[in-house]
């Protein structure tokens, strides 16, 4: 896949360098990603809002995006998008952007990058968010947009938006989870010592990423071992031996660090895995084995305990 990062004039550095670095780490971990850095104009260099020059940029017009591509659009200084001539000055890019969206590319805004999406008409009748400071202005300028407040991330189809500055990192991690899976995204989060945040209305967080908001390497190792070996029967003694702890100390530290017990965490991993496999059409008996359970009745009991309703496979 290709990841494109737009560098507009007076770009907010963290808006673009945060997501770009996470995709760099993903590539280091084996993800097949090509990164490209684009200019809204023909020039090969832009100056950030902090005064740092960013060079070796390619013109957006050189590329045609597909469903295998995504584009990050970061925030920029407000005097630029407040200017009356902003849409006219950037008309070629604003006309190019909807075409890429129609071709299936994921379009992702960070902070005030949402203004660029809105000027291009991509957000009409769509949900999005932006920096809290600009809620009133954004709503007045773009009344057709369904602006959501108090949200860190918003996804509407292939359009993604985030609230501001550091939330671009959260958005990048969310996209990596969608593209390469929860276990892979958790490895990237641990590598850069961050964790994907959520507010109640944001897209649901996979249990494979939940309870990882800590920096205890031993507990991360235990969580990795559980998530990557669900089909195998693993005892607390086995887990404790992996991290050179006693079972009693591991049990105590796991609860203190994550807020839940090892058994509860394992149940949650199994439930999510089971629902995912069942939705793909896997046989119930095969799902039970993949989740390390002895029987389909045990799977049924587990799902009944943790979900509001049983999947259709158990309806008979």
pLDDT recorded at residue 228: 86
- At 166-211, the pLDDT tens digits run 889 989 999 998 999 878 888 888 888 776 565 545 655 567 667 8
313 pLDDT band (50/70/90 cuts)? low
- Who's near 266: CB < 8 A, 6+ residues apart? 226
For the segment 22-36, the average pLDDT, to the nearest whole number, is: 95
pTM (whole model) above 0.85: no
**Cα dist from 68 to 11, 78, 85, 145, 314, whole Å:** 25, 31, 33, 26, 36
Token pair 């807020």 is found at 259
- At 213-254, the pLDDT tens digits run 676 889 988 998 998 889 988 899 999 999 999 999 999 999
2-179: which CATH architecture? 3-Layer(aba) Sandwich (3.40)
Name the CATH topology of 211-316: Arc Repressor Mutant, subunit A (1.10.10)
The percentage of residues in the chain with a pLDDT greater than 90, rounded to a whole number, is: 65
Q: Considering only 194-198, 278-282, 298-302, 312-316, which range has the smallest mean pLDDT?
A: 312-316
316 pLDDT band (50/70/90 cuts)? very low
Q: Considering only 18-27, 37-46, 118-127, 286-295, which range has the smallest mean pLDDT?
A: 37-46
d(CA 224, CA 216): 12
User: What rounded mean pLDDT belongs to the chain?
Assistant: 89
d(CA 147, CA 106): 19
The closest alpha carbon to 161, from 121, 102, 205, 116, belongs to 116
Domain spans of the chain?
2-179, 211-316
For the segment 303-315, the average pLDDT, to the nearest whole number, is: 70
Give burial (CB, 10 Å; 0-12/13-18/19+) of 121: middle
294 pLDDT band (50/70/90 cuts)? confident
Query: Where is pLDDT greater, at 307 or 311?
Result: 307
The closest alpha carbon to 20, from 58, 70, 72, belongs to 72
The closest alpha carbon to 108, from 162, 31, 64, belongs to 162
The closest alpha carbon to 102, from 141, 148, 69, belongs to 69
- At 96-132, the pLDDT tens digits run 999 999 999 999 999 999 999 999 999 999 999 999 8
């Amino acid at each position: 896949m290709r990841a494109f990062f737009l560098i507009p004039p007076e770009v907010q550095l963290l808006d673009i360098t945060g997501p770009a670095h996470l995709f760099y780490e993903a590539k280091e971990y084996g993800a097949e990603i090509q990164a490209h850095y684009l200019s809204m104009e023909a020039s090969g260099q832009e100056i950030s809002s902090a005064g740092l020059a960013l060079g070796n940029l390619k013109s957006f017009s050189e590329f045609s995006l597909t469903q295998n591509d995504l584009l990050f659009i970061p925030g920029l200084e407000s005097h630029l998008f407040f200017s009356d001539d902003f849409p006219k000055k950037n008309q070629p890019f604003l006309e190019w952007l909807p075409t890429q969206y129609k071709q299936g590319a994921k379009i992702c805004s960070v902070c005030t990058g949402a203004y660029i999406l809105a000027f291009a008409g991509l957000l009409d009748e769509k949900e999005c968010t932006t920096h809290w400071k600009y809620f009133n202005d954004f709503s007045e300028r773009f009344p057709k947009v369904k602006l959501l407040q108090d949200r860190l991330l918003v996804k509407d189809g292939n359009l993604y938006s985030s609230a501001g500055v550091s939330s671009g990192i959260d958005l990048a991690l969310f996209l990596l989870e969608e593209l390469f899976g929860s276990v892979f995204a958790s490895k990237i989060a641990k590598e850069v010592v961050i964790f994907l945040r959520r507010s109640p209305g944001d897209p649901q967080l996979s249990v494979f990423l939940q309870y990882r908001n800590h920096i205890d390497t031993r507990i991360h190792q235990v969580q990795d071992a559980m998530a990557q070996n669900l089909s195998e029967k693993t005892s607390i003694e086995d887990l404790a031996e992996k991290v050179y702890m006693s079972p009693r100390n591991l049990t105590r530290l796991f609860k203190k660090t994550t807020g839940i017990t090892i058994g509860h965490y394992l149940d949650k991993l199994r439930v999510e895995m089971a629902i995912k496999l069942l939705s793909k059409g896997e046989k119930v008996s095969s799902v039970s084995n993949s989740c390390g359970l002895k029987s389909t009745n045990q799977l049924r009991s587990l799902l009944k305990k943790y979900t509001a309703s049983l999947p259709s496979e158990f309806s008979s």
